[in-house]
Amino acid sequence: MKVWIKQQVEEALESLAWQGLGADWVVEEPKQSSHGDYSSNVAMVLAKPLKKNPREIAQALADALRLSARFDKVEIAGPGFLNFFLKAQTYQEALVSLASQEAFKANHVAEPQRILIEFVSANPTGPMHLGHGRNAVVGDTLARILEALGHQVVREFYINDHGVQIETLGRSGIYYFKKIHGMSAGEAPGEDMYRGEYVETLVKDLSHEIKNSLGDPLSVGKTLAKVLLERVKEDLAKVDIYFDHYFSEDSLYESSKIKQSIEALKKSGKTYEEEGALWFKTTDFGDDKDRVLIKSDGSYTYFTPDIAYHQDKFKRGFDLYLNVMGADHGGYVTRMKAAVEALGFDPQKLEFLLMQLVSLKRGEVPVAMSKRSGDYVTLKEIVEEVGADATRFFFLMRSHHTSLEFDLELAKSQSSENPVYYAQYAHARLASLLRKAAEAGIDLSKLAQKIDLSSLTLPEELDLIKLMLQFGDRLNLAASFREPHRVIFYLLELAKLFQNYYTQGKTDPRYRLLDQEEEVLLQKLFLVRALKEVLANLLKICGVSAPEKM
RNA sequence: GCCCUCGUAGCUCAGGGGAUAGAGCGUCGGAUUCCUAAUCCGUGUGCGCAGGUUCGAAUCCUGCCGGGGGCGCCA
């Protein structure tokens, strides 16, 4: 609709020979209904290049536009806003065409991109905690949004299965093995080991597999890590997250890709040796200080295999690379972009989403968590307590730029205070209406046809249609800002508008959806079905179920 | 000290150049003998501070204040 109005304005500009002024004007939905269904700032923006009073410009445009049969009126207001008031019929027709678009496939972008999104990438040294959960859900939902817009998305998980942390895991395992089997295990594990019950129980489960390699921490570590990774996958599956590709850090060593990328960096002239180490001159790319690639003891820093990994990514030729990671890794952004650029790729294609922290509370009571002591709440526990739907929904309720307080009490509560239930209930109610109608003998297949909707004239009905028409815009916005929470807010707006509309049926017969003459009934049901479709789509994109009944 | 992020109603948060800044919760008051009450309506002296850009700023720029994160030859 916005696009159509913009076209109309452009035609009007042409008819006045004012086209091609290039200025950046928009058509938008005003906050206030008295300012029209849509409005444009075109006259104000063009005032400067045309050297005319904005209200004069607006007047001329309005005169040219009033001819269209779809407008009820076009007004000039304030400093020169052009306010468009559409006829109800315009909305009725828009709803028919929206509903006929097979679940809104027409919103696909004109130029689909191939996008690689890397997220979670949790070390396979322990269970996933809350922070991983947020990362996983936001990353996956962003992927779903991009897919809904027609992009081709690959979800990738980078496994840190090589470094010291695997050896540390092995040492921790060996300690617990000895402890369990009454051997002298040495001192209690300190900060340089993985602790917590999960290690001990894991070792118990795997005693048989590791008992012959107690002298080889790395080997033990790999055995444990393999199982831990499987558990990570299981946890992710519980919130409906699946990766297309797991990329092993270890494979970079085996294929000597790390050496190759170091050679490529050397060639770029951005490296130098100092104090027995090889440095990468990231300060040439805006970093605070240069970074070490090869330590003086000959081993790599964690950064070096990551460079090789990103070189591999870029060689695979995607249009965009998204990396979702914790905000505590923010320092990594500049140096990774530097590496990509030095390797001859476009660093603008590499984007980072930095996730802020998650904390946990139960009503008003904060739940203490200390990662250091291994005493933290896992994603699995959360899902078991509040369910997959609430888990996903709650992780999506806040912009990832801000820290998130996850309220277990609220997530569990089956009331309208809980936004998950609120959104799902709206969908269930719509489903119930269709079910009731079918039970009453209404032939719902008639809704598949294009029908006349001239009875849908209540303001709330037109508002609902107007909001539904924003579907594509809202998704595009969420995608281009990389902000999945926008989908949740849109979903809640729609749910609220519907609940309001529905409840009015209790006092006003015009708002009854089922007690109507057959012809009107079908029109109301057409709206019901279309809205249900929209809500189901949005819930799907969030990875939350859309129940038919609650 | 430097870098990133956030600061909006009592609380939790939307809003990323437009007109009178919104929602949920909380408070207080009300509706519905109903197509599921897992519902709805009413109730609000708020954009951290100071400059700047603009016809127009919560939004963009600069500085300051305050919270969080980061500044290893750790990952």
3-state secondary structure A249-284: HHHHHHCCHHHHHHHHHHHCCCEEEECCEEEECHHH
- What is the per-residue pLDDT for A197? 84
The pLDDT value recorded for residue A102 is 63
Which residues numbered 387-446 in chain A sit less than 7 A from strand B, measured from CB? 397-399, 401-405, 414-417, 419, 421-422, 425, 428-429, 431-433, 436
Residue nearest to nucleotide B33 (CA to C1'): A506
- Give pLDDT, residue A68: 82
For A329-364, what is each residue's pLDDT tens digit? 999 999 999 999 999 999 999 999 999 999 998 887
User: What would the two tokens of residue A533 be?
Assistant: 């479709």
Q: Which has the closest alpha carbon to A123: A73, A83, A168, A92? A: A168
Domains, in order of start, for chain A? 2-86 (3.30.1360.70), 361-412 (no CATH), 419-542 (1.10.730.10)
Residues of chain A with pLDDT under 50: none
How many CB atoms lie under 10 A from the CB of residue A222? 20
The set of strand B positions with any atom below 7 Å of a protein CB reads: 2-7, 12-16, 18-26, 31-36, 38-41, 55-56, 68-75
Strands A350-355, A358-362: parallel, antiparallel or unpaired by DSSP? unpaired
Query: In this structure, what DSSP letter does residue A546 have?
Result: -
Q: Do A334 and A282 contact (CB within 8 A), yes or no?
A: yes
Supply A451's token pair.
């029908």
Q: Running DSSP on this structure, what letter comes out for residue A102?
A: T
For tokens 């045309």, what's the residue? Answer: A50
Among protein residues, the one whose C-alpha sits closest to the C1' atom of B18 is A41
Helix (H) or strand (E) holding A235: helix A217-238
Residues of A (295-354) placing their beta carbon closer than 7 angstroms to any atom of strand B are: 295-297, 301-303, 327-332, 334, 354
The DSSP bridge partners found for residue A159 are A248
Residue A323: CB partners within 8 Å, gap ≥ 6? A117, A118, A119, A336, A350, A351, A352, A353
Amino acid at A255: S
Residue A145 structure tokens = 């949004």
- Find residue A76's DSSP bridge partners: A82
pLDDT of residue A372: 52
Which nucleotide comes closest to A296 if you measure CA to C1'?
A: B73
Q: Between vectors from CA A256 to CA A251 and to CA A262, what angle results, nearest 5°?
A: 120
Nucleotide nearest to A297 (CA to C1'): B73
d(CA A420, CA A428): 12
- H/E element, A240: none
Q: Tell me the C-alpha distance between A100 and A529, whole Å.
A: 12
A549 beta carbon to strand B: under 7 Å: yes
Determine the pLDDT at residue A105.
62
Give A227's contacts (C-beta < 8 A, 6+ positions apart).
Answer: A202, A205, A206
CA distance A234 to A31: 45
A101 touches strand B (CB under 7 A): no
* Any strand B atom closer than 7 Å to A97 CB: no
Write down the H helix ranges in A100-163: 130-148
Please give the single-letter amino acid code of residue A199.
V
**pLDDT for the residue A51:** 83
Which residues 123-162 on A are within 7 A of strand B at the CB atom?
123, 160
Asked whether residue A31, judged by its CB, lies under 7 Å from any atom of the DNA or RNA strand B, the reply is yes
| Residues in CB range of A421: below 8 A, 6 or more apart | A413, A414, A415, A550
